[in-house]
Amino acid sequence: MQSSIYSKIEDILKHSDKPLTCTELFDKSEIRQEVNSTDEVSDRLGYLWRRGLVTRVPSPKLGVKSARYAYSWRNNTTKARKPVSIDDVTRRTKFNGLDAKRSADGSIVLTSDEFEIVIRKRYQ
């Protein structure tokens, strides 16, 4: 099952004291049961990194074939991105050719020469 490998990687990285490489993760029996090679572990780690769930640092070269990066689970203190809110756009602004303005109902309208995008808060 694909999702179980991700949850196992998450659990191991959250409980690790140091960043781990794909080789170190592959050496864990619970990971080895799910994948066939360190390349598959590396692919999963790359996916998690692109989604912003893990951080990566260059790993030290220990031999001829060493992992390039070591990964650790991203916690709340290491989050680099701030979520964008509708309240952040308060006046008319230009974004790469798009004109952004706030409407009276609180929505944001992005317009260009060819189209218009309206962004509203989701009411639940």
- In order along its 124 residues, the chain shows pLDDT tens digits of 455 888 899 999 999 988 999 889 999 999 998 899 889 999 999 999 988 889 988 887 766 667 888 999 987 555 555 555 555 554 555 566 778 888 877 788 888 888 888 888 776 4
Residue 70 shares a structural domain with residue 92: no
50 and 12 assigned to the same domain: yes
The residue segments making up the domain with residue 22 are 2-78
46 and 92 within one domain: no
User: What are the start-end ranges of the H helices in 27-105?
Assistant: 29-32, 38-50
pTM of the complete model: 0.56
Same-domain pairing of 23 and 67: yes
Any domain includes 124: no
Q: Is residue 52 part of a domain?
A: yes
All residues at 6 or more sequence positions from 101 whose CB lies less than 8 Å from its CB, including other chains: 91, 92, 93, 108, 109, 111
pLDDT at 80: 54
Say how many Å lie between the first and final Cα of the chain, rounded: 33
| Cα 9 to Cα 40: distance, rounded to the nearest angstrom | 12
